[in-house]
Every structure is written in C-alpha cells, then in structure tokens.
Amino acid sequence: MRIISKEIDMAESSQKGSAIFNDIEMGIGTWAWGDRLVWGYGNQYAADDIEQTFLAAVSNGITFFDTAEVYGQGKSEKFLGQLIPRASVNLKIASKIMPFPWRISKDALRKALTGSLKRLGLPKIDLYQIHWPMPPVSIESWMAQMAEVQSEGLISAIGVSNYDLEQTKRAVDALAKKGTTLASNQVEFHLLERRIEKNGMLDFCNANGVKVIAYSPLAMGILSGKYTPDNPPKGTRAGQYNRPLLEKIQPLIKMLKSIGMDHDGKTASQVALNWVICKGTLPIPGAKNVGQLEQNAGAVGWRLSEEEMHKLDELSDRISQTISGIEQE
C-alpha cells in the first residue's frame, strides 16, 4: 500500500508540475538580484530597486520568478524569500542546484534543496532544476534524486537547464522510469541564438510536453537597441558583444523598431521578447529596476504576425551567419 501511495503522490506531483506554466506568457529571471560581478549590484542598483521591481512585476501580472542557489551567492533567493510574502497573488518560484563535481553523495540534491527552501522561506519549490550537466554524477542519478524529493512533496516539477538534445532525452527517459516527467529545459534562446530550432531540441520538447524556458531572451540587453558600436556594453559583456558584432546586428535592431511602430509603438525589446513568446517558449528576461520591468511587461498580451515572424527569422539567420564569420576570424 505504501508503494502504491507513493506512486499516486508522484503522479499527482507530475500533473501539477506540468500545469505550472498554464496562463504564463513570461517570467522574470533574477540572476541580477544580488549579483555584483556581472550586473553590478550595489553600484548601479540596490535592494530598494529590487523590491520595487518585484512589486511592479506582480502588479503587471508577472507571477513566475526564476532564481538559483548561485545567483548572488544565495542573495537572489534571499531577496525573493523576503518579498514573496508581500505578493497578493500566488506566485510560481523556480530555482536550481549547481551540480558541482564534488557533489557526489546520494543526498547532495536534498541538501542543496534544503538550503534553497530555507533562503526562499518556502515549504515547496514549484520548479527545481539542474543548472548545468556536469560530471561525474550521471544524469540518471540526478533525475532519481529529483524524483525522490518530488515524491515527498518538496518540489512540484522537475526541470533541467543548459541540457543539449541527447541529455534532455536521457532526462526524459530516466524520469519516465520513475513514473514522472520532465517539465522544462531552460536554455539560451533569442534572435541571435537559435540553435534549439535548428538541432531538433525545440521540436523534441514540444512533442514531449517539455517547456522551453528562454533565458537571456534579449541577448543580455543587446536586442534592446540600447547598445551601439559607439556605446558598447561594459564589464564581462563587452568581450562577447564587441564593436564588429554590434555593427552587424544594427539592421536587426532597425527592423525590431520598425515592427514595433506597427504595433502601437512597441519597443525593440518588446518585439524581440514577443518573438520568443511566438516560438512557444517562455522568456525570463532580467529586470533590475521598475523601468526595465515595465518595458518587459509590454511584450505580453499581443502577437506578431506570421509575416513579421518570417521577416525576423530570415534576417536573424543572415546576421547569425555573418556573426559566425566574425567569431571564426
């Protein structure tokens, strides 16, 4: 009877897990909430900005928040833990475990999850994800640990992040053997990074009920049009998005702005995010202040036309080919 009960509990958790994305067009990625190295927390923005950003998100109907134990060395989860009680609606919280090579014990995931639950002040996490596929622990072992904590009601849904197609298939198969399912795979996806469309990942996920969560849907802000060859980003992003690359993508920025004008003055950012939504994926752009949050919120509630999607796809493909040439030089 105990085994049967556990199987029923797991099946119910799996069904609830697959439902966490219902009616959610977009979420918020909270990597920047407390991160000093990449995003400049403490210099460019502070705790008050994060608080106001959270409240603005909830008031704009954004209820899905993605965090991780490593974001800001735990600060991101702590911020959410302090802010969640202030929400007047039910939120969906996603977090991640980083499978460092030294995490080889059978209860490694449980220990990490316990830490995240404590920082978030929650009895359960809606979506718990493996942050990266790292050896030496196998995908099958991590999925077994995931299924176990799910059966105990500590998480609702199981996800992965940065898994390639074969790794995703292994995760799906491993969870199926445990009587549960993979809810999501979080990967980089935007107009300048479309590999999941080309390598079969997006098709596989759609066919198997795995939601693709798109991180960096604005290419770390590059698709907002804020940065130009004469005004490149600073810090760690400067090397990736240098002057030659920024020159190559200006026609795409121009098209995003032009299409936005045909949709009651939508911005380049809003059009770029809507493109991600129209692909059937869930974008989780970051936001460090209310202005960025409200900008992102304007991407939902409307849709690009098929013709506009085709134009963006075509130009994106051409630009990606030229970018590849720059990177190989």
C-beta neighbour count of 8 within 10 angstroms: 12
Of 41, 71, 227, 241, which is the active-site residue?
71
Burial of 200 (0-12, 13-18, 19+ CB in 10 A): exposed
How many whole angstroms from its chain centre is CA 227?
22
CA distance 200 to 196: 6
| 49 touches 42 (CB < 8 A) | no
The two counts, helices (H) then strands (E), for the chain are 13, 8
Q: Which amino acid belongs to residue 163?
A: Y
Q: Which two tokens stand for residue 153?
A: 């009601």
The answer to whether 71 is a known catalytic residue is yes
CA distance 233 to 242: 8
C-beta neighbour count of 145 within 10 angstroms: 21
Catalytic residue annotation: 71
